Amino acid sequence: MKKVKIGIIGIGNMGSSHCNTIINNQVPDMELAAVADVKEAKRNWAKENLPESVAVFEDGDALIEDSLCDAVIVATPHYEHPRLVIKALEHGLHALSEKPAGVYTKQVREMNEAAAKSNLVFAMMFNQRTNHVYRKMHELVHSKTLGAIKRVNWIITDWYRTQAYYNSGEWRATWEGEGGGVLLNQCPHNLDLLQWICGMPSSVQAFCHNGKWHDIEVEDDVTAYLEYPSGATGVFVTTTGDAPGTNRFEITLEKGKLVCESDKLTLYQLDVSEREYCFTATEGFKAPEGQYVTLETDGKNPQHSGVLNAFAGKILYGTPLVAEGAEGINGLTLSNAMHLSSWLGKPVKLPFDEDLFLTELNKRRATSKLKKNVKEVTFDTGSTYGSQVKL
């Protein structure tokens, strides 16, 4: 059976981890054919650590222009994701973009249009969608057995990062190099899951604090209030400065409450709908009765290799992706709306003015300073998802 010849563009933390996943045979339908990196040190790493058969290019453009690969994974800093995905599609290559889909929705919309015009596979690396607990939440909410959502709270402060992390690349945590902070680097996973499970809000108000806990110019502490078209409300809280952090995703529905805390999912199911009970009960203080329900999941959580196997499967056999590429714009819409709301100091209705967002972002880019005194390190990305401390 033919394997998908894959090229990886950007072999820093994440790209090098994808290389190892593939050469260690965790994606049987994929063969690592090429890698590209603009940095010589990364190319030297590739020559020393990857099989000799893997071609090494000096940048993503050169890899795409060569006819060696069937598909690419774009694992560069975020601003480059849409440009390289569009270029890959134009050269007839299937494309998988790392998260986030890009930095601003206007740019990502162009990428989605290019993908829609092609007959190629376009996917997003939303590896946390492979986690059985989030898949279960998605299934339960979408089945409507628990009724409509009333309230969503996600406190995700479990993304601890040190100053050494921020100093490890000149692009990191700068408006010019990255386009944002915790919302754009760590939270794309959570914002994607939030929209995948609960749908999109109609209004967002956020308070973003720049460089509150680190010496950086972008946000590292955010509290956002969300309003949904159904009348449900939500709160999303995140930071890279709390230790130990919290990861508690709580959805209150008409007939029960789902709580996912530190990767453990519980459901308290009511005997009747609270909405019905509220107006029929004769008692004043007594809440409707219910019980904890044992939830069965398949227990699987393959993360990155799950996304890569599904990508190869879609190319070779037409089987479903973990996340369609076109869906990447949704989580980015949430983070752009949070930034815009904080910059303007008022709530932002969705869809927001994408040109205004870009004007505001560009104001910040104009005075942005790429990092000096950078100490390049390739970190182990193994603990970048899931709780590090169970409390």
Ligand X SMILES: NC(=O)c1ccc[n+]([C@@H]2O[C@H](COP(=O)([O-])OP(=O)(O)OC[C@H]3O[C@@H](n4cnc5c(N)ncnc54)[C@H](O)[C@@H]3O)[C@@H](O)[C@H]2O)c1
Q: Which is nearer to ligand X, 76 or 342 (CB)?
A: 76
Number of residues engaging ligand X in binding (CB under 6 A): 27
Question: From residue 165, how far is each of 68, 196, 256 by CA, in Å?
Answer: 34, 29, 40
Question: According to CB under 6 A, which residues from 182 to 211 bind ligand X?
Answer: 185
Which residues have a Cβ under 8 Å from the Cβ of 330 and sit 6 or more positions away?
A: 191, 192, 195, 196, 200
Which of residues 98, 220, 221, 327 is near ligand X by CB under 6 A? 98
The residue whose two tokens read 């749908």 is: 199
Residue 384 interacts with ligand X (CB under 6 A): yes or no: yes
Q: Which is nearer to ligand X, 10 or 325 (CB)?
A: 10
Residue 303: name the closest of 143, 99, 1, 154 by CA: 99
Q: Which is nearer to ligand X, 180 or 241 (CB)?
A: 180
Residue 7: name the closest of 59, 78, 45, 49 by CA: 59
Asked whether the beta carbons of 78 and 103 are under 8 A apart, the reply is yes
CB of 117 to ligand X, least distance (A): 23
Q: Which is nearer to ligand X, 140 or 191 (CB)?
A: 191
Length of the chain: 391
Which of residues 7, 82, 102, 169 is near ligand X by CB under 6 A? 169
Residue 177 interacts with ligand X (CB under 6 A): yes or no: no
Of the candidate spans 4-12, 208-216, 289-297, 317-325, the one that interacts with ligand X by CB under 6 A turns out to be 4-12
Question: According to CB under 6 A, which residues from 108 to 167 bind ligand X?
Answer: 125, 127
Residue 14 interacts with ligand X (CB under 6 A): yes or no: yes
Task: Name the closest residue to ligand X (Cβ).
Answer: 12
Which residues have a Cβ under 8 Å from the Cβ of 242 and sit 6 or more positions away?
A: 157, 158, 160
Q: Please give the Cα distance from 264 to 273 (Å, whole number).
A: 25
Which residues have a Cβ under 8 Å from the Cβ of 145 and sit 6 or more positions away?
A: 255
Residue 241 interacts with ligand X (CB under 6 A): yes or no: no
Asked whether the beta carbons of 163 and 214 are under 8 A apart, the reply is yes
Question: According to CB under 6 A, which residues from 28 to 87 bind ligand X?
Answer: 36-39, 42, 59-60, 75-78, 80
Is the previous residue joined to 77 through a cis bond, with omega within 30 degrees of 0? no
Which of residues 12, 201, 306, 328 is near ligand X by CB under 6 A? 12
Residue 388 interacts with ligand X (CB under 6 A): yes or no: no
Residue 242 interacts with ligand X (CB under 6 A): yes or no: no
- On the CB side of 62, how many CA atoms lie within 13 Å of its CA? 11
Residue 331 interacts with ligand X (CB under 6 A): yes or no: no
CB of 373 to ligand X, least distance (A): 16
Q: Please give the Cα distance from 130 to 307 (Å, whole number).
A: 7
Which of residues 4, 9, 95, 308 is near ligand X by CB under 6 A? 9
Q: Applying CB under 6 A, which residues contact ligand X?
A: 9-15, 36-39, 42, 59-60, 75-78, 80, 98-99, 125, 127, 169, 185, 381, 384
